[in-house]
Amino acid sequence: MATSALELSDVDAYYGDSHVLQGVTLRLGQGRLLGLLGRNGAGKTTCMNVTVGLLPPRRGGVLVFGEEVARLRPEQIALRGVALVPQGRRVFRSLTVRENLMVAARRPVNGGAAAWTLDTVYAMFPRLEERKAQMAAYLSGGEQQMLAIGRALMSNPRVLLMDEPSEGLAPQIVADVMATIRKLKASGLSIVLVEQNPQLVFEIADDIVILNTGRVAVAAPAAEVAGGAVDLGQHLGVF
């Protein structure tokens, strides 16, 4: 089997005494898109925090392109090509759009030419170029989401983690965000997409993992899950 872009292997993670992830194993294939679903509090964001090194696991492994990173600091993991588009966007509100992008700029891990520069990010998000000199605080929610994605791309990642990028956005903007994610996938990037809305994920994912109270309840190809092979009501709530 080809090396995974990302693998969490039997991960246990805690917030204080609270045992939040319990033996979580998941695998993101190279160039694939993994949809990570689960109810509020199921542990999706915690998986992201473990992957980027914000919450070191107490047990288990985190492999990025085959390299164990579970004991590395967040900046060391970022240098290995992992970027997070965080829940709630978390743009730097008092910096301009351009400054938000530039703080994240980094060369690709393989040392080759950078696919993502200010120019290519602006080409993907013309709205950001129009507003490049504005403070991020004055952007709309959709524009802030584009900026959060653009900022992650500026680090020229190999693995892109997106934590609920559709949250709080109007349907047309959600459609734009999904179209962007589709393009990124087509460019060969390996992506984990955390979502509350399973329908959004089914349209775009190759594989699905559903978390239920900190454990993997389902791991299956997206077509199978979308096709009714899984009782979504049981794991995600009412449908």
Instruction: Using CB under 6 A, list all residues that contact ligand ATP.
Output: 15, 18, 20, 38, 40-46, 87, 196
Using the minimum distance from each CB to ligand ATP, give the nearer residue, 44 or 185. 44
Using the minimum distance from each CB to ligand ATP, give the nearer residue, 91 or 209. 209
Q: How far is the CB of 200 from ligand ATP (least distance, A)?
A: 14
Q: How far is the CB of 146 from ligand ATP (least distance, A)?
A: 21
Using the minimum distance from each CB to ligand ATP, give the nearer residue, 113 or 239. 239
Using the minimum distance from each CB to ligand ATP, give the nearer residue, 77 or 128. 77
Tell me how far apart the alpha carbons of residues 84 and 160 are, in angstroms, rounded to a whole number. 6
C-alpha angle with apex 14: 149 to 194, nearest 5 degrees?
25
Q: How far is the CB of 195 from ligand ATP (least distance, A)?
A: 9
Q: How far is the CB of 97 from ligand ATP (least distance, A)?
A: 26
Q: How far is the CB of 19 from ligand ATP (least distance, A)?
A: 9
Using the minimum distance from each CB to ligand ATP, give the nearer residue, 40 or 110. 40
DSSP symbols for the chain? -PPPSEEEEEEEEEETTEEEEEEEEEEE-TT-EEEEE-STTSSHHHHHHHHTTSS--SEEEEEETTEE-TTS-HHHHHHTTEEEE-TT----TTSBHHHHHHTT----TT-S--S--HHHHHHH-HHHHHTTTSBGGGS-HHHHHHHHHHHHHTT--SEEEEE-TTTT--HHHHHHHHHHHHHHHHTT-EEEEE-S-HHHHHTT-SEEEEEETTEEEEEEEHHHIIIIIS-HHHHH---
Using the minimum distance from each CB to ligand ATP, give the nearer residue, 28 or 97. 28
Q: How far is the CB of 216 from ligand ATP (least distance, A)?
A: 13
